[in-house]
Structure 1
Amino acid sequence: MRYIVVGAGAVGGAIGGRLHEGGRDVVLVARGAHGRALREDGLRFTTHEGTRTLRLPVAEGPEEVELRPDDVLVVAVKTQHTAAALAPWAGRPVEGGGTAGESLPLVCAQNGVENERLALRLFRRVYGMCVVLPASFLRPGAVTAACGPYTGVLVLGRYPSGTDDTAHRIAADLEDSAFRAPVVADVMRFKYAKLLGNLNQTVEALCGPVAAGTPAAELAARARAEGAAVLEAARIDHVGAAELAALREGAVEARPSQDGERALGSAWQSLARDAGSIEAAYLNGEFVLLGRVHGVPVPVNETLLRLSEAAAARGLAPGGTAATDVLALVDGAV
């Protein structure tokens, strides 16, 4: 199997780098300054073992890849970019007949729960992946994933449900490449649980680290409480926080980064890179949508969504908003 990683940032770069080191055939897909750096200088990949440069094939888009029947597409872009990223791949011919959308497996290695729905419109064989993989991408050509003894836990299953031989083959390759990769028939239960945890990300991006006992922690807890109430009202099942945490225990533990780089979550990194957009519409925004559909008030998530999207549009640095100010806005809106 060859893995074509569409979006070789923090998560995609870490998965692609580890699969390459595990002896698998990998193509990274990246554009702009990051793509140029990967092509010219290789992937500067930092894990708890150290930093090295990996030389992998790099493509700017589908027109540079001749697709084969044994290819697996791994999508790791932010959700706001998913539709635009997938559309050019779906109709691409595959050697031997058919198109990518008709025959190739596509794995959504992404946060949120909307990507799989978007993918299923274009691809017949879609797999969800609950990604527990602390990683950072702050500079073109460089990815850090410093946890150990495993780089991450990647829970895999068919979408909307089920398992198959392809899922088990992908999982076996990941397990040979420094990941834990359980295959489950109910992957979306894990993804909804992770989505609740991802609500911390917007608080981090706006207010900085969510440390116990701080206003930021109170803000994050209130966002998660709203999210839990929304999922209950919508009758959406999800695994418990303890079960999700158990996947990491003894497997994915923070290790000192050899290059001294310290980054917070994905949303924080988007502001730090001045990426121009943020994923909040598919994190907080998922609960805002469901709350409005099911009549559950969600003032915390509405406020975090509004402020984070404004911060991304204005190019604000992460951590510049006081959590007390956000709490005051929320309480004034209730």
Structure 2
Amino acid sequence: MKIGIVGAGGVGGYLAHRLAEAGELVYLVARGAHLEAIRERGICLKTKEGLSCARPAAVSDNPADFGETMDAVLFCVKGYDLKEAARKAAPMVGSDTLLVPLGNGVGNAEVIAKVYPGHAVANGAVYIVSHVAEPGVVALVGRGALVVMGMAKSDASPKPKALAEALKKAGVKVVVSEDITTDVWKKYLLIAAMGTLTSCYDVPMGVILQKHRGELEEAFREIIAVGAAEGAALGEEDLEMVRRQLERVPHDAPTSMWLDFKAGRKTELEQLTGYIVRKGAEHGIDVPTMHRCYEILKAHHS
């Protein structure tokens, strides 16, 4: 397959390496020193087994340089960059190209669909612990990644299955979901609640569990209620699974949004917190915990 990957960070870089190593035609959009390093020796993956590098079919900061339309384009960027990234990807997007956002948040498919109305747009989520260790090198913590993706229930397109086969051949665990709305909300439940509260209180996850557990549970319930209004069938078993995940988290573990706030970088406040506030208002659902923290953090942003 010809697979475009927009964003060469911990997720996009990992997938680009695995797919290129497996012989797929990967067209990677990267920038800066990371781009130059990839041009020189390929996209490299550092694991406990060592370092390996694989060369994409092409790499550039401008998709027009590729001169190709893709079978699929994976968007592996932060939510605040997704709309602009989708627009810039236009030279890679043909009439039959499958578009798959793999960032945090649950509204990503909506963003892509507005840029490309009428196109095949899947939604997706990635479970992975990885980061850019140095230009051209992605470091993987743990054994690999799980990609969950799927089309809306009304769309029976076979395209996600073809992409899933390519990913599986590359050694990536993949689930083609029959209810992708619920599945993306399962991940969102944890990252939106914890990202919001760690940022709101400026503390790691362990402190939230010890000192603000009641508010965490309230945030969970608010997210579940809004998710139900959006078509996600989250149940008590999903909430219990999140609680079990949190039991294994180190006391000083941060969230990515909290780290971004602390470093003064752009954050996914609108995608992880503001989204619940806006959708809650749209559906007439009260979300006081998320709303209070949103106002605090929005003031911090300004």
What TM-score comes out, normalization by structure 2 length? Answer: 0.81
Displacement of 1:295: 3.0
- Counterparts in 2 of 1:101-116, with a 5 A limit? 102-116=95-109
SS of 1:133's partner is strand
User: 1:169 — aligned with what?
Assistant: 162
Among 233, 257, 262, the alignment partner of 1:267 is 257
Among 122, 128, 150, the alignment partner of 2:123 is 128
Displacement of 1:48: 4.1
Aligned residue pairs total 288
RMSD after superposition: 3.1
CA gap of 1:308–1:3, structure 2 versus 1, over 3 A, is: farther
Query: Can you give the 5+ residue segments of structure 1 that lack an aligned partner in the other structure?
Result: 95-99, 255-261, 315-334
Cα distance in 2, alignment partners of residues 244 and 181 from structure 1: 23
Given that 1:210 and 1:216 are in contact with CA atoms closer than 8 Å, whether structure 2 keeps it comes out as: no
- Counterparts in 2 of 1:199-218, with a 5 A limit? 199=192, 200-205=194-199, 206-210=202-206, 213-215=209-211, 217-218=213-214
CA gap of 1:153–1:7, structure 2 versus 1, over 3 A, is: same
Cα distance in 1, alignment partners of residues 4 and 145 from structure 2: 19
User: 1:8 — aligned with what?
Assistant: 8
Displacement of 1:216: 5.2
CA gap of 1:175–1:273, structure 2 versus 1, over 3 A, is: farther
Displacement of 1:81: 0.9
SS of 1:26's partner is strand
Cα distance in 1, alignment partners of residues 115 and 185 from structure 2: 23
Cα distance in 2, alignment partners of residues 186 and 32 from structure 1: 38
Displacement of 1:47: 2.9
Displacement of 1:139: 4.8
Displacement of 1:116: 0.8
Cα distance in 1, alignment partners of residues 239 and 149 from structure 2: 14
Displacement of 1:125: 1.2
Given that 1:107 and 1:129 are in contact with CA atoms closer than 8 Å, whether structure 2 keeps it comes out as: yes
Pair 1:229 & 2:225 matched: yes
Given that 1:128 and 1:187 are in contact with CA atoms closer than 8 Å, whether structure 2 keeps it comes out as: yes
SS of 1:152's partner is strand
Query: Can you give the 5+ residue segments of structure 2 that lack an aligned partner in the other structure?
Result: none
Displacement of 1:84: 0.8
What TM-score comes out, normalization by structure 1 length? Answer: 0.74
User: 1:185 — aligned with what?
Assistant: 178
- Counterparts in 2 of 1:1-334, with a 5 A limit? 1-40=1-40, 42-56=42-56, 57-68=58-69, 70-90=70-90, 92=91, 100=93, 102-123=95-116, 124-137=119-132, 139-148=134-143, 151-159=144-152, 161-199=154-192, 200-205=194-199, 206-210=202-206, 213-215=209-211, 217-232=213-228, 234=229, 236-240=231-235, 242=237, 264-268=254-258, 270-271=260-261, 274=264, 276-309=265-298, 313=301
CA gap of 1:18–1:267, structure 2 versus 1, over 3 A, is: farther
Cα distance in 2, alignment partners of residues 33 and 307 from structure 1: 35
When structure 1 is superposed on structure 2, of 131-140 and 283-292 the one drifting more is 131-140
Displacement of 1:73: 0.7
2:185 aligned partner, one-letter code: Y
Displacement of 1:282: 1.1
1:130 aligned partner, one-letter code: A
Given that 2:205 and 2:255 are in contact with CA atoms closer than 8 Å, whether structure 1 keeps it comes out as: no
CA gap of 1:263–1:67, structure 2 versus 1, over 3 A, is: farther
Given that 1:193 and 1:239 are in contact with CA atoms closer than 8 Å, whether structure 2 keeps it comes out as: yes
Cα distance in 2, alignment partners of residues 22 and 172 from structure 1: 12
CA gap of 1:297–1:182, structure 2 versus 1, over 3 A, is: same
Given that 1:203 and 1:220 are in contact with CA atoms closer than 8 Å, whether structure 2 keeps it comes out as: yes
CA gap of 1:273–1:37, structure 2 versus 1, over 3 A, is: farther
Given that 2:196 and 2:290 are in contact with CA atoms closer than 8 Å, whether structure 1 keeps it comes out as: no
SS of 1:284's partner is helix
CA gap of 1:219–1:121, structure 2 versus 1, over 3 A, is: same
When structure 1 is superposed on structure 2, of 190-199 and 211-220 the one drifting more is 211-220
CA gap of 1:81–1:3, structure 2 versus 1, over 3 A, is: same
Given that 1:33 and 1:140 are in contact with CA atoms closer than 8 Å, whether structure 2 keeps it comes out as: yes
Given that 1:136 and 1:144 are in contact with CA atoms closer than 8 Å, whether structure 2 keeps it comes out as: yes
Given that 1:278 and 1:308 are in contact with CA atoms closer than 8 Å, whether structure 2 keeps it comes out as: no
1:230 aligned partner, one-letter code: V
